[in-house]
Structure 1
Amino acid sequence: MPSQDRTPAPPSASPPYRDPAVPLATRVADLLARMTLREKVGQLNQRMYGWDAYRRTRDGGFELTEALYAETERFEGLGALYGLMRADAWSGVDHGGGPGAEDSAALADLVQRHVVERSRLGIPALFVEEVPHGHLALDGTVLPVNLAVGATWDPALYERAAAHAAAELRARGGHVALVSALDIARDPRWGRTEECFGEDPHLAARLTEALVRGMQGEGDVFAADKAPVVLKHFAGQGATVGGRNSAESELGPRELHEIHLPAARAGIRAGAAAVMAAYNEVDGLPCSGNRALLTGLLRERWGFDGLVMADGLAIDRLARVTGDKVCAGAVALHAGIDLSLWDEGFTHLAEAVERGLVGEAVLDAAVARVLRLKFRLGLFDQPSARPVPVPGHTGRALGTALARACVTLLHNPAGVLPIGPSVRRVAVLGPHAATTAHLLGDYTAPQRPGTGTTVLDALRRLAPPGTDVRHARGCALTGDDRTGLPEAVATAAACDLAVLVLGGSSARTPDTEFDANGAARTLAPEMTCGEGVDLAGLRLGEAQYALLDAVTATGTPTVVVLVQGRPHAVPEAVDRADALLTAWYPGPWGGEAVAEVLLGLTEPAGRLPLSVPRSAAHLPVYYNHKDTEYGSYADGDAGPLFSFGHGLSYTTFAYGPTRLTGHTVEVDVTNTGTRPGRTVVQVYLRRLRTPVWPRSLELRAFQGVELAPGECRTVALCLGADQLSLVGADLETTVVPGPVEIRVAGSAREALDAVPAVLDVRV
């Protein structure tokens, strides 16, 4: 039945909003002027789980569900649809019923045609998809998680991988990519640490820029293989109390501006189309209802004119302070939220406007931002999916390249690695040795059988002919099951080298119980990391330590490989093993990358994106703490086990004296070993005179350098206003004149001992 608030149908002549030749702003204004209040509210709602919008038919096609019909009837159209192609344990979508690479575009086209036909004005929907480390969909390329990307210290490589992820998304009919980028890992007990680029704002900012450039490209209109990015989460979600997901934060304004906002500002300067408001509160105000943050800072001070999306069900949480969901929706809209996610609060916006809780002009501004994004995507001119072929091998190549670049050698005092020709028998042990499931990280779709390479299989394939590679699991990933220890010990004792593959897992299973927003409520048997999996301690399962003790006690040289989504506390590996490296969650082809590094076919190139603590009791251990004289414990070392920026190579490097030419920092770097290798030149500032209390060190520039044996190269890095600025007493970012120490080194720890050059900063 026709809606009572419909306006008369437009005349037969094509209206301006339908004309691609008309300026974008004019098209938006023309369409907005034709919309009813009901239609406007519909554009701001993103209510459904996308997997509830379709089902498979007996002939293998798709049909739309009554749930979708009801949703499009409610507002005579659809603003946005979340997760149409999402496939994971939460959605329950798998290869038996979900859309794969071959038919996702057809499903998207079916849904879009229904939406457009149901809309009086022919307004298409945005299809919003999770792209945390590749598109979260069946047959999507799975890339290493963000923490692994941070370990590459290689924005250019990540930009290429991000571009591929966007192309895959668009080829399948998706439009908008939700990507974690803004959270800073300040407490590794947080289960979502794997979604962070690291602990440092400068490193995160450079990788966020690369993400935006890669996924979005350039220009106001998105190319057919580019996707607008929603940067998650704004702001300060990595600093919740105790590392507990969605808990309160105790961030002061300075900590927020110095540590948690630079990545967001860099992403916005790079042109990010949207940001997602975080769950946490800042100074008592939840981000989704924080007008000072979303409007005062983001829009008015930073000039952001893009879209702001709420996180899942975050608007309804505001009812705790507003009293009901109608007021919650009004508060969120007034604060600066444009698009909801599953909330009821935004469905009542018409009532909120009629009651005077929020002005219709505020509503119109939000609707205009949603419509503008749809016009930029070309959805009005070509609403159906336009698949652009994406070479299947490209994703695997980029994922493997990132995996190789993230593997970080932490400890190798006797040079046990790389594995030499005298090693003829290798024992590959541990709960991660022969599995790919635990290489993938959270937010990963089900993989087809045979996808990926385990460490064990890769070593068997890549080791020199005649090498005997033996295997025993040894122990369980979690708990204290040690029934496999005797076999593992016997295997290690009979070999020349033991490779012990330990770590954690973010692998969800169908028996995991989930909250309404998809966070894990009760854990899968082996799940130790991921959203909803926060830890009080940082220990691995106790059986893994028993396996480490038993294997090293055999006297066989032992290499420990850690596969993890957070820096677990394993000081025993440093004390007892002969070498230690971490691969984070390197993706399905990570086993190949690890094997290549172990065998010396690839040089270890990763550097730590965050500090590794000795234990949870030592937290926090991030390097850029305030520069105070109190830094020790009476009962132990307060420093990290391994510092931010640390990483070893199979060669050695020498850094010459730091030279300054104006604001350009120069240093000669020499490969003093016998193998080629990559080092990351890291430039740290130590402020000598400031209007506020300074930090001990601040990373402000870096550059990866590949050198042949004996090669020397001059590395020059310019420190511009962005690198030299600080957050002043008024919380404005500014360049303050005065002396600044410039320290160039291969890690934050080495920078403390480096001979500084003093730069006299002048405005």
Structure 2
Amino acid sequence: MSAIYKDPHRPVNERVADLLSRMTPEEKFAQMHAYWLILSGDGNHRERTDLSDEFAGVAEQADLAERLKLGIGQITRPLGTHIVEAKEGVRAANRLQKTLVEETRLGIPALFHEECLVGLLCKDATLFPSSLNYGSTWDPELIERAAAAIGNEARSTGCHQGLAPVLDVSRDVRWGRTEETFGEDPWLVGMMATHYVKGLQGKNRDLLATLKHYVGHSFSEGARNHAPVHLGFCELNDTFLLPFEMAVKLANAGSVMPAYHDIDNQPGHSDEFLLTTVLREQWGFDGLIVADYGGVSLLHQHHGVSHDAAESAALAFNAGLDVELPKDDCARHLAQAVERGLITMEKIDEIVARVLKEKFRLGLFEHPYADENKIELQSESTVRIAREVATRSITLLENDGTLPLKGKPRVAVIGPTADDPLALLSGYSFPVHLIISDMLEQTSQVVTPLEALREQLGSDNVRYAKGCHIIEKRMAGAPVFPGDSGGKPMQQSPVSFDTSLIPEALQIAEQSDVVVLCVGDLAGLFQSGTVGEGSDTDNLMLPGVQQQLLEELLATGKPVVVVMTGGRPYNLGGQEDKVAALLMAWAPGQEGGHAIADVLTGQAEPEGRLVVSVPKSAGAMPYYYNHKLKSGGTPFAFHFGSRYPFGYGKTWTTFEYGTLKLATATVENQGGEVSASISVTNNGSAAGSEVVQLYIHDKVASMVRPVQELKAFQRVHLKPGETAVLTFTVPTDMLNFTRRDGQRVVEPGEFEVQIGASSGDIRSRGIVTVKGDTRIIKGNWRMVGHCEMKL
């Protein structure tokens, strides 16, 4: 008679209980961690070792084959670890899975995970734009379609869990991982993340999305990687936990990943309050909590809150962790932790039951293998979505009428990012991410701005000069990994200050009608680039001599159109008023060149709107639009503020707003809705779209509130002279904030409703009064409003 756990017709809970009862302690421990392997189709797999092992203080292990006989919880990035053809990689993963399913005592399959933030991180997968591009579209439904396309590519290669999206709320753009965020507004981040999760997971949650980095990772001390976070729970809940709560409650996210930092001296990987009390008990999260790579070992290696690996494992798993990633650095000491009384077998059983439940629910026992003949990468529809996201995210910040380019002008395309495929990619794209492993770039599918402009304008009309380098030679590794102290000399910055290429650029500029100057940064992990994980900065000047190149080109008198790509906004050294136009394209992915050329030539409208403010200077940091009144100092500091605020973006036309009209001047707190209408007219000569934004300011509250908070938005497309009336409805639940006792509350009182084209361009205001008693918000409260539009 077959075992209960092998019967797909039995309830999942029965199957879990049966299998758990058959497992030895060592087999249970094996389900609580992963292995990071270089897989081989002949079964001769080997463990991956690199600088991250040195970073975490972990030595190479032996006897892999023997350890695999116990089974394994997850396999880390089977296709994303090294350059391997997708079919070969799937074949190798299937070979390993066959060993686990057919050659171990219990036949428990492994769950495979990959990075999925900007596309599936594997060779030949579609290279999508960055999360900043996602956010800049202000189109959650489009991002849901993009995530669904990424999910389809992942499923086709046998991936069961994607380590995305990133829900960190940008607070300080000096932080290298700003490129991974959806922006600086918590509610907008929550909206984008919710739709991303829905798209990636699908209706049946048959691919687990992973919310990261839980939580507050983006408000680190000095915007430095892994640095401590100084936050009280009220701000933590209102700003940083909110997007996670939305994605859990609205999208049923399947996994969560804690962050490396500590908050008020409590490391994220051992925070029982956040991992268990808030996430599981208060929000009802029912998925898997997986460690950030090496995060458990950092409890003793860096944080110093435990003595050794066994104690670190006990701290993390007792706090709520389910699976250690990427390997078993600490989980391999669980037997010792049990023996020392640091963790109980009852807790082990609780954790392993959750792991097994997901494996049964995902259907791994019935369908453990991927079909190597059904891999689908770079399909026409997926590439089309990547291009749409790239195009619709491009944001026009300045324009003196030079854009769109008319006719077939002689164009000088200049700059270090004009013909560099890597300059269009963010840190978690396959070619960039593997620089740290000394892998070769795989960028044949990337279209650069130079290539696209030559295609559109004709090669005879386009001349090119690089002008300068950002980094002359891309190198793997980092000057010093976090936690190192002494014994290792700091390497010099890889950024180039060579000016020898500028004269050639000036020469071709003189011979052209207009200059398209492509500037920005290069993503790269751990200071192998100028932005990305571990590549933080201390200023907002363009890296290297790009500013000098810009100023010398401006001195020629030719109109200079600046196209900025990268993972954070940079200043132009006060030259913003002198450029003919300024486009922010972020890291637009493999189709970025087409997208940029389409906007430059008027084939497409610049639809993007900023989701991170562009501070006046690094001295303004941390800066974000939804700050407190006193954030600017007393008196107001000259360096504080933003030239281009959150929500800002120009287009080919202009819009006139009517007067805001409230449906009622008072609403009831319990079950109430704020309803506000406004007319928007295209009073320009070209068709175009506007992102109409609604903000709220709580005028008097029991605790300090931000000057404004985004609560709704709607894009409207209008022909010249056309008018639309937009009616926004915002539930009173969304007026909540966190009280000192940790409760979300909505207080009665006056709220200012602001509607405008950006956070800094409010066109009309009104006051609504919320009546009734102070109300505590619990459970599945109303997190999203809606907008009705009539032409």
Residue 131 in structure 1 maps to residue 125 in structure 2? no
Structure 2 residue 477 is the aligned partner of structure 1 residue 469: no
Query: Which runs of 5 or more residues in structure 2 are unaligned?
Result: 49-61, 432-440, 471-494, 664-672, 776-791
Map of 2:343 onto structure 1: 358
Q: Per-residue CA shift, 1:292-315, capped at 9, x if unaligned? A: 111111111112121111111111
1:119/1:573 CA distance change after superposition, 3 Å: farther
Inter-partner Cα distance in structure 2 for 1:646 and 1:635: 22
Q: Read off the aligned partner of 2:707 and give its amino acid letter.
A: S
Question: Which residue pairs with 1:557 in the alignment?
Answer: 559
Look up the SS of the partner of 2:576 in the other structure. Answer: helix
Report the aligned-residue RMSD.
2.0
Pairwise CA distance, 1:607: 0.5
Q: Which residue of 1 aligns with 2:404?
A: 418
Contact residue 422 and residue 443 of structure 2 kept, 8 A: no
Match of 1:197 in 2: 182
* Counterpart code for 2:682: N
Q: Aligned to 1:574, what secondary structure does the other structure show? A: coil
Q: 2:8 aligns with which of 5, 10, 20?
A: 20
Alignment correspondent of 1:58: none
Aligned with 2:91 (options 96, 106, 111): 106
Q: Aligned-pair distance for 1:290?
A: 0.7
* Cα distance change, pair 82–630 in 1 and its aligned pair in 2 (3 A): closer
Does residue 451 (structure 1) correspond to residue 445 (structure 2)? The answer is yes
* 1:490 Cα deviation from its structure 2 partner: 1.7
Question: What is the CA distance between 1:567 and its match in structure 2?
Answer: 1.2
Aligned equivalent of 1:692 = 703
Q: Could you say which residue in structure 1 is the equivalent of 2:600? A: 598
1:399 Cα deviation after fit: 0.8
Gaps of 5+ in 1: 1-12, 55-60, 88-92, 509-518
Work out which of the residue numbers 267, 275, 288 in structure 1 matches 2:256. 275
Alignment match, 2:542: 540
Corresponding residue SS for 2:451 = helix
Distance in 2, Cα, partners of 1:718 & 1:635: 36
Is 1:401–2:388 an aligned residue pair? yes
CA deviation after TM superposition for structure 1 residue 761, in Å: 5.3
Residue 28 (structure 2) pairs with residue 40 (structure 1): yes
Distance 1:282 1:590, change over 3 A: same
* Map 1:115-126 → 2, pairs under 5 A: 115-126=100-111
Hey, what does 2:311 align to over in structure 1? 327
Cα offset for 1:14? Answer: 1.3
Aligned counterpart, 2:478: none
Deviation at 1:643, TM superposition (A): 0.4
* Counterpart amino acid of residue 451 in structure 2: D
**Secondary structure of residue in 1 paired with 2:629:** coil
Partner SS state of residue 322, structure 1: coil
CA deviation after TM superposition for structure 1 residue 623, in Å = 0.6
Q: CA deviation at 1:467?
A: 6.9
**Cα separation, 1, equivalents of 2:631 and 2:427:** 40
**Per-residue deviation, residues 41-89 of structure 1 (Å, max 9, x unmatched):** 110011x323x233xxxxxx554325599345226111111011114xx
Indicate if the aligned counterparts of 1:108 and 1:172 stay in contact, CA closer than 8 A.
no
**Deviations 1:727-757 (Å, cap 9, x if unpaired)?**
2232222322222111011111113x64334
Structure 1 contact 43–80 (Cα < 8 Å) conserved: yes
What are the equivalent positions in structure 2 for 1:383-394 lying under 5 Å apart?
383-386=368-371, 388=374, 390=376, 392-394=379-381
Count of aligned pairs between the two proteins? 710
Contact 2:396 2:606 in 1 (8 A): yes
Contact 2:615/2:640 (8 A) holds in 1: no
CA deviations on 1:184-221 (whole Å, 9 max, x unpaired) are 111111111111111110110001101110011224x6
Contact 2:617–2:639 under 8 Å retained in 1? no
Residue number in structure 2 paired with 1:514: none
Alignment of 1:662-701 (within 5 A): 663-701=674-712
Matches within 5 A, 1:201-220: 201-219=186-204
1:294 matched residue in structure 2? 275
Other-structure match for 1:150: 135
Counterparts of 1:757 and 1:658 in 2: how far apart (Å)?
10
Structure 1 residues 253, 604: closer, same or farther in 2, change over 3 A?
A: same
The residue that corresponds to 2:487 in the other structure is: none
Question: How far has the Cα of 1:330 moved from its partner?
Answer: 0.7
Shift in Å, 1:586: 0.4
The answer for the alignment partner of 1:8 in structure 2 is none
- Confirm or deny that 1:729 pairs with 2:740: yes
AA aligned opposite 2:498: D
**What do the CA deviations read for 1:589-621 (whole angstroms, capped 9, x no partner)?**
101101110111100000001110122112122
1:758 paired with 2:768, answer yes
Q: Distance in 2 between matches of 1:632 and 1:578?
A: 36
Is this contact kept in 2: 1:742–1:757, CA < 8 A?
Answer: yes
Tell me the secondary structure at the aligned position of residue 502 of structure 1.
Answer: strand
1:571 positional shift: 4.0
More displaced, 20-29 or 274-283? 20-29
CA separation in 2, counterparts of 1:630 and 1:389? 53
The answer to whether the 8 Å contact 2:417/2:565 transfers is: yes
Of 35, 49, 57, the residue aligned with 2:36 is: 49
Distance verdict in 2 for CA 1:191–1:41, change over 3 Å: same
Whole-angstrom CA distance in 1 between matches of 2:39 and 2:86: 18
SS in 1 for 2:651: coil
TM-score (norm 1): 0.90
CA contact (8 A) 1:562 1:583 kept: yes
Q: Distance in 2 between matches of 1:655 and 1:257?
A: 34
Aligned to 1:648, the other structure's residue is in SS state coil
Paired residue for 2:500, among 483, 490, 493? 483
Show CA shifts across 1:514-571 (max 9, x none): xxxxx52xx44xx211111111112113421111111111111111110110112224
Q: What is the rounded CA distance, in whole Å, between the counterparts of 1:469 and 1:123 in structure 2?
A: 59
Change (3 A) 1:542 1:379: closer
Q: CA deviation at 1:103?
A: 3.2
- Does the CA-based 8 Å contact 1:701-1:723 persist in structure 2? no
Shift of 1:466: 9.2
Q: Residue 547 of structure 2 contacts residue 573 of structure 2 at CA under 8 Å; is this kept in 1?
A: no
After superposition, the Cα gap between the structure-2 partners of 1:467 and 1:677, relative to the gap in structure 1 and judged at 3 Å, is: farther
Tell me the secondary structure at the aligned position of residue 383 of structure 2.
Answer: helix
Match of 2:17 among 4, 23, 29: 29
> 2:727 corresponds to which residue?
716
Distance in structure 1 (CA, Å) of the matches to 2:296 and 2:571: 37
Secondary structure, counterpart of 1:576 in structure 2: coil
1:493 to 500, 510, 532: 510
For the 8 Å contact 1:208–1:263, the answer to whether it is kept is yes
**1:76 paired residue number:** 70
Q: Which amino acid aligns with 2:266?
A: L
Among 441, 446, 454, the alignment partner of 1:460 is 454
1:415–1:230 Cα change, 3 Å: same
Tell me which residue corresponds to 2:434. none
Which shows bigger deviation, 738-747 or 337-346? 337-346
* Structure 1: distance between partners of 2:509 and 2:189: 40
Question: In structure 2, the residue corresponding to 1:28 is in which secondary structure?
Answer: helix
Matched, 1:374 2:359: yes
Name the SS of the counterpart of 1:385 in structure 2: coil
Cα separation, 2, equivalents of 1:63 and 1:324: 33
Distance 1:634 1:256, change over 3 A: closer
In structure 2, the partner of 1:512 is none
The amino acid that maps onto 1:307 is L
Aligned ranges 1:81-92 → 2 under 5 Å: 81-87=75-81
Per-residue Cα deviation, 1:352-378 (whole angstroms, up to 9, x for no partner): 223321122211111111111111210
Q: CA deviation at 1:323?
A: 1.2
CA contact (8 A) 1:740 1:761 kept: no
Asked if 2 retains the 8 angstrom alpha-carbon contact of 1:742 and 1:759, the reply is: no
